[in-house]
Amino acid sequence: MTTELILGIDIGGTKTAAALVTAEGAVIARVESPTPAREGGARILENAVTLGRSLCALLAGGDANPADEASFAVVGVGVGSAGVIEPRTGRVISATAHLSDWVGTEIGHDLADAFRLPVSVCNDVHAHAVGEASVGAGRGHDTVLVAAVGTGIGGAVVINGQPEFGTHGIAGHLGHLPIAEAEGLLCPCGKFGHVEAISSGTALHQLYLRNGGDPAVLDTRGVVARADVDRVAHASVVTSARAFGRTLGGVINMVDPGVVILAGGMINAGALWWDSMDAGVRENVMPILNDVDIVRAELGDDAALIGAALRAFDIQGAQQ
């Protein structure tokens, strides 16, 4: 019996990972390498192709599953990539300056050429959300809201396994909602007053310094670690997390999710962050939605790979 697999690829700002993924979302082989972020779009894709080919070669050699004689066939490629992606064509519409010459890269077209397989591409946040919603912390729920709080703030809404893309591929991106605590603060998107400017990891460190915190504290981790003993650190964590929670509460009112999944580095910032976030949610959420569960993401680093692969399976299924 032949088991169909998708080659899942996650192209991030620092590393690129590839895996062979089953229709149930199981990873059967995985490789990764640093993303050549400064070397331009062609090199970034070339690196992804090299990783993918090494996995396909593994399969051809029969090493992927030495335990039995089941055969495998790679039937498509699913990509989750950094940057804003046009999901129908797989073209990069915009990206941070960190990825040189990434805008305009035709990921879908070029990878279809390289692998001679159908390719589907979406943003890594959307891919991550599909993975978590389908086989991670969102299992069993039709409507799932995913929010990631790390160096920036991202998010996605997944309904029946399908991510909402919107017109430009950025739907669900809750980092750029306005919040009173961020008034006057410049957001990385170029506008003022967005929640990312007060609640991202980067913003928490800046808030601490602005509030008169110790300049010797060099990063967000340092702020979080001092929150028990440093009054300014404590207040900064509370303000930042509560602002995020209040924003999230508003989004919950709009989306009415069965579960909310949080990802990103800040979810490991400890009980003070989590409790302040939760208090912010309760301040804003409508009473009928007050029992919504807010849980941690489960799939870790593989969520985007798995989600990109599941989406590729879905699209192929719909086309058959």
Q: Binding residues for Zn ion, per CB under 5 A? A: 176, 187, 189, 191, 194
User: Rounded to the nearest whole angstrom, what is the least distance from the CB of residue 210 to Zn ion in the complex?
Assistant: 18
What are residue 33's DSSP bridge partners? Answer: 16
Q: State CA 138 to chain mean position distance.
A: 14
Q: State the DSSP string of 155-175.
A: EEEEETTEE---SSS-TT-GG
Q: What is the DSSP letter of 143?
A: E
CB 258 within 8 A of CB 144: yes
Give the span between the Cα atoms of 72 and 75, in whole angstroms: 9
CA distances from 274 to 277, 286, 295, 296 (A): 5, 20, 11, 11
- Provide DSSP, 241-276: HHHHHHHHHHHHHHH--SEEEEESGGGGS-HHHHHH
Nearer to Zn ion, 16 or 247 (CB): 247
Nearer to Zn ion, 188 or 222 (CB): 188
Q: C-beta of 170: minimal distance to Zn ion in Å?
A: 11
Query: Minimal distance in Å, beta carbon 204 to Zn ion?
Result: 16
Q: Least distance in Å: CB of 142 to Zn ion?
A: 29
At 220 the three-state DSSP class reads helix
As a whole number of Å, the end-to-end CA separation of the chain is 20
Q: Which is nearer to Zn ion, 123 or 134 (CB)?
A: 123
Output b/e per residue, 255-280; b: 16+ Cβ within 10 A: bebebbbbbbebbebeebbbebbbeb
CB of 194 to Zn ion, least distance (A): 3
Q: How many CB atoms lie within 10 A of CB 112?
A: 18
- DSSP 3-state assignment of 194? strand
Nearer to Zn ion, 5 or 156 (CB): 156
Between 98 and 296, name the residue whose CB sits nearer to Zn ion: 98
- 158 near 129, Cβ under 8 Å? yes
- For Zn ion, the closer of residues 96 and 268 by Cβ is 96
Closer to Zn ion at the Cβ: 141 or 176? Answer: 176
Q: Which is nearer to Zn ion, 3 or 202 (CB)?
A: 202
Cβ at position 192, least distance to Zn ion in Å: 8
Q: Which is nearer to Zn ion, 174 or 187 (CB)?
A: 187
Minimum distance from CB of 190 to Zn ion (Å)?
Answer: 7
CB of 184 to Zn ion, least distance (A): 13
Helix 124-135 × helix 303-319 angle, to 10°: 80
Q: How far is the CB of 320 from Zn ion (least distance, A)?
A: 40
What's the Cα-to-Cα distance from 32 to each of 16, 35, 297, 301, 305, rounded to whole Å?
Answer: 6, 9, 21, 11, 11
